Amino acid sequence: MALFAGANTHANASDINDTYLVYGSGPNVAVSDLKSTVRLLVGHTAQVTAVAFLNNYIVSGTQTGSLVIHDSQDWSLKVSVNTEFRAMVSALRCFDGLVYCAIDKHVCIYDSTLTLVDQIDLSFYSLAIEVATIGSVTVMFVAGSKSTIHVYARTSGSFVHMAAIPGHEDWVRALAYDNGILASASQDRTIRLWKIVSATDSASQLSKLVVKNYKISESSEMLFDALLFGHDDWIMTLRWRNGKLLSSSSDSSVIVWTPDDSGIWIPETRLGSVSIKGASTATGASGGIWSALWTPAGGIAAVSRTGSWRIWLNGAQQLPITGHTGAVTGMSWSPEGEYLLSTSTDQTTRLWACWMHNNPDNLWHEMSRPQIHGYDMVTCTAITSSVFVSAAEEKILRVFQLPKPIASLIHTTVSPQFMSSTDAAAAIVPTLGLSNKAVNDSSSVTYDDTNMDREVESGHLAAHIKTNQPPSEDDLERHTLWPELDKLYGHGYEISALDASPKSGEHLIATACRANKEDNAVIRLFSSSTDSLDAWNQDPDLLKAHHLTVNCIRFSPDGKYILSVSRDRSFALFDVDNKQLLVHQLKAHSRLLWSCSWVLSNNCYSFVTSGRDNTLKLWSFDPSTNSVALLHTQPTESAVTATATIAQNNSTLLAAGQENGGVLVFRIIGSELIAVPRSATWNCASTVRCMAWRPRSTLLAVGSDDHSVRLLNIDPRIDGQQ
């Protein structure tokens, strides 16, 4: 089983211990071993915004105020509560067996069973919490939508407000305490260090002549110590380790601060990207690094605006942990199964493959990001091993070609048998453009890079891609785009469905768009007769039957027929060669139809449809009489929103993804649907949007609204599972 899940871009939505990195990914808590994502913990229905370890437990909170505790040993869900505020949990801090939760204008304190033991009401939105034992007193520091740091000390069992400490000029985003020093970071782009001293200490008494001391408990005082400049944008997180301070910023950098021999704090190491000139988070023009953590080996793990984890060890960037940061809406395997393409509402198309050669772990990685678009992506389909078509929330479809560096990467790391005749060296997206522009060996282009125009040779772009290992996140963001071959026009509204003919040597696709009347609810066919697939033509004959949006289109396995299902509760069958409507089954389900899939066995045609009426239906089709018959109706616990089939051992495996996130697998034998034993690890936290079987394999790819791409090894035996 392989998992891909991008991180939520919240500063406090991650934590790390000696074994695992945990982070929010959509409504899930993702668990990583710093090589890959190994598990997704379900339990929430809203996006996870805060995560923290509590001894052997993982505490997480969401944007709607729910809290969940998972056991980090067996990954079970232990406790789940909904707080009374129904507001975003912006920070969690676990200390001395208690959970300190920043939510709205409150700090709520819970025990390990999430029973509320104390509540502090604030006059500002809380964004950061730090708790420490200073002397014999538990002290809590709270900051947020004011420029002051508020200090509370626990006396007689409850917290008492001790001081409001000024200094910053904007909201305070992060707090971190270690060995008598509190660090605070702000949207004013500075870090302030505050020294905690005994109220009777001679240094404290002397400091009162220079700076103001703030009483934070009966025996301790706090005073300003140092001001650190270095970041160009909001500072999001702070972490201490062995006397060194790690900071991350929206300027796309992380800095390690350390004191020199004279005690002056200096930036020892700076990692990340050069910030965009003139951009800032306040104007929405920068994304940056949202969170940074120290790894157990002394390295640094940082999550960027793309949801990917960049990992550095001894200054060298390691392989990233990547995934979508929006709902996964479509997926397609290459014809021979070397790689999987997926599309998402995060406006990207991504390519996943297993690094099998010169890699003992055989882990799956993101090998390319072929499309970084300006619209939410809807679906995609592979035409050949080198060409695919994608659709976004727009009226056109786009055809892309595999570039040379990615072809070489797949050949070297994934499959030595993979061959491509592509001649495109690389691709870029011009300033203010949506199309990936091809850059050939002899050409050069000018494009906007951090607000500085510079000429880039295609060879320079291609040289960034190492062909002996998966790309870094920097390369995925900039150097793995696929050049666009063609645009396909014709639809009047946003694309809703797409499929490609499996017939060998035939380059034909069928598409549909959103529709609320018959004139728009048509299926358009596009074909290409060129070997390079760089020129596509629309067939003048439209396939008409439906009067509302066509949700799914599927070519039959032999490419002779097209099956479509619609929101109008009907399905239709068309002859591909004659462009004729053969069957239009009205009221096939009692509610709208979501998906369909073909079954071809012993030259007999049958297919499956699914709808919002919580049923799967198996139908037979007789081409000699152009008639259909209902063979079997399979009730399901939730509406089936995605289906996929594959021939296997003289039968067919049917996968069904449900609106509640459940995944079902059936073996179709004759007119029977026999359930394959399920595993709880198959299930997603939200609606399953797409599914695809790897060719000639029982590896099932599943994409969901919970932002995850899951690769499941299905044991098709009816009497047991692996």
Domain stops at, among 466, 489, 512? 489
Per-residue pLDDT band at 681 (split at 50, 70, 90): confident
In contact, 138 and 154? CB cutoff 8 Å: yes
CA distance 102 to 95: 14
Q: Residue holding tokens 């995944």?
A: 663
Give 200-224 pLDDT, tens digit per residue: 775 555 555 556 889 998 889 999 9
Residues 6+ apart with CB under 8 A from 366: 4, 320, 322, 323, 350, 351, 352, 470, 471, 476
Least confident of 166-170, 427-431, 681-685: 427-431
The range of the structural domain enclosing residue 365 comes to 324-489
In contact, 187 and 177? CB cutoff 8 Å: no
Give 522-532 pLDDT, tens digit per residue: 999 999 988 88
Give 349-369 pLDDT, tens digit per residue: 999 999 987 676 789 999 999
* Residues above pLDDT 70, as percent of the chain: 91
CA distance 449 to 275: 11
Q: Establish if 66 belongs to a structural domain.
A: yes
At residue 381, what is the residue type? T
At residue 148, what is the residue type? T
Q: Does the pLDDT value for residue 566 go beyond 50? A: yes
Q: Does the pLDDT value for residue 450 go beyond 60? A: no
CA distance 29 to 43: 9
Q: Establish if 407 belongs to a structural domain.
A: yes
Domain stops at, among 439, 455, 489? 489
Residues 6+ apart with CB under 8 A from 247: 174, 185, 191, 228, 230, 231, 235, 237, 238, 254, 255, 257, 292
Q: Establish if 652 belongs to a structural domain.
A: no
Q: Establish if 234 belongs to a structural domain.
A: no
Closest CA to 662 of 636, 644, 633: 636
Give 615-644 pLDDT, tens digit per residue: 999 999 999 999 999 999 999 999 999 999
Residues 6+ apart with CB under 8 A from 369: 348, 349, 350, 351, 476, 477, 480, 481
Q: In this predicted structure, what is the pLDDT of residue 143?
A: 97
Type and span of the H or E element at 380: strand 377-382
Average pLDDT over residues 329-348: 97
CA distance 254 to 241: 14
Per-residue pLDDT band at 602 (split at 50, 70, 90): low
Closest CA to 31 of 64, 72, 63, 92: 72
Least confident of 216-220, 553-557, 584-588: 216-220
At residue 57, what is the residue type? Y
Least confident of 276-285, 648-657, 708-717: 276-285
As beta bridge partners, residue 155 has: 158
Instruction: Please state, as a whole number, how many other Cβ atoms lie within 10 Å of the Cβ of residue 97.
Output: 9
How distant, in Å, are the alpha carbons of 93, 100, 169 from that of 61? 11, 11, 29
Structure token pair of residue 452: 């500085």
Per-residue pLDDT band at 484 (split at 50, 70, 90): very high
SS3 581: strand
Domain stops at, among 489, 514, 535? 489
Per-residue pLDDT band at 416 (split at 50, 70, 90): confident
Per-residue pLDDT band at 432 (split at 50, 70, 90): low
Residues 6+ apart with CB under 8 A from 625: none
Strands 213-215, 220-229: pairing is: antiparallel
Q: How many CA atoms lie within 13 A of 269 on its CB side?
A: 16
Q: Residue holding tokens 């995934």?
A: 323
pTM, two decimals, is: 0.92
CATH number reported for the structural domain that contains residue 73 in this entry: 2.40.128.630
Least confident of 178-182, 449-453, 536-540, 644-648: 449-453
Q: Establish if 412 belongs to a structural domain.
A: yes
Give 163-194 pLDDT, tens digit per residue: 999 999 999 999 999 999 999 999 999 999 99
CA distance 320 to 314: 15
Structure token pair of residue 494: 């946003």
In contact, 137 and 217? CB cutoff 8 Å: yes
In contact, 585 and 630? CB cutoff 8 Å: no
The rounded radius of gyration (Å) of the Cα atoms in the chain is 28
Q: In this predicted structure, what is the pLDDT of residue 208?
A: 55
Q: Establish if 431 belongs to a structural domain.
A: yes
Q: In this predicted structure, what is the pLDDT of residue 468?
A: 82
Least confident of 175-179, 327-331, 358-362, 388-392: 358-362
Q: Establish if 592 belongs to a structural domain.
A: no
Instruction: Please state, as a whole number, how many other Cβ atoms lie within 10 Å of the Cβ of residue 361.
Output: 10
Average pLDDT over residues 560-584: 97
Give 303-325 pLDDT, tens digit per residue: 988 999 999 999 899 999 999 99
Type and span of the H or E element at 489: none
Q: Establish if 296 belongs to a structural domain.
A: no
Count: domains in the chain: 2
Describe the chain by its helix, strand, coil percentages, rounded to 5.
Answer: 5, 50, 45
Q: Does the pLDDT value for residue 697 go beyond 50? A: yes
Q: In this predicted structure, what is the pLDDT of residue 453?
A: 35
How distant, in Å, are the alpha carbons of 461, 512, 521, 662 from that of 574? 45, 14, 14, 32
Q: Does the pLDDT value for residue 452 go beyond 50? A: no
